[in-house]
Structure 1
Amino acid sequence: MTRRRPLNPNAKIALDEMKYEIANELGITNTPDYNGNMTSRQNGLFGGYVGGNMTRKLVEMGEKELIDRNKRY
């Protein structure tokens, strides 16, 4: 099985930044004193919220890029 990797290595950094920004917007904080005391269920719930919002924002960004690209032609 192949592992998914970003086409651009800098994309991982940008996606991580986006992940923390969205989590912060949702009130989900990763505090420095966090020691992994969340259950799998809690992590799944929070991850779902963050992942869903990340996907939504990435789709919006892609749509905007396509619209902007078509305006240039």
Structure 2
Amino acid sequence: MARNNQLVVPGAKAALSKMKVEIAQEYGIAFTPDGYNGNLITRDAGTIGGNITRRLVQMAEQSLGGRM
């Protein structure tokens, strides 16, 4: 199965990684940005992923402004 999740915007990977760390810190989740995170429980991983999605949607809505 081919992976189809290539980043379109250069530098997006670094920004997403930074966002992961910020969200983990906000929620008190032990997260290592450059190491092994296999010890995360599903709830913590979902908290991080859900908040990333929420922030990205907010950013898109703000950038669209009143153009819809």
The letter for the 2-side match of 1:28 is: I
Match of 1:10 in 2: 11
Ranges in structure 2 where 5+ consecutive residues have no aligned partner: none
Match of 1:55 among 48, 53, 56: 53
Q: CA RMSD in A?
A: 2.3
Structure 1 stretches of 4+ moved >4 Å: 34-37
Greater helix share, 1 or 2? 1
Q: Go from structure 1 to structure 2 and tell me whether the alpha carbon gap of 1:38 and 1:5 turns closer, same or farther (over 3 Å shift).
A: same
Is the 2:24–2:48 Cα contact (8 Å) retained in structure 1?
Answer: yes
SS of the aligned residue for 2:65 comes to: helix
Is the counterpart of residue 45 in structure 1 residue 43 in structure 2? yes
Q: Go from structure 1 to structure 2 and tell me whether the alpha carbon gap of 1:53 and 1:36 turns closer, same or farther (over 3 Å shift).
A: closer
Give a deviation string over 1:14-52, Cα, whole Å, max 9, x none.
000001101111111236xx876736xx1x211100000
**Structure with greater contact order relative to length (CA < 8 Å, sep ≥ 6):** 1
Percent of matched pairs sharing the same residue: 39
Measured after TM superposition, the shift of residue 3 of structure 1 is: 2.9
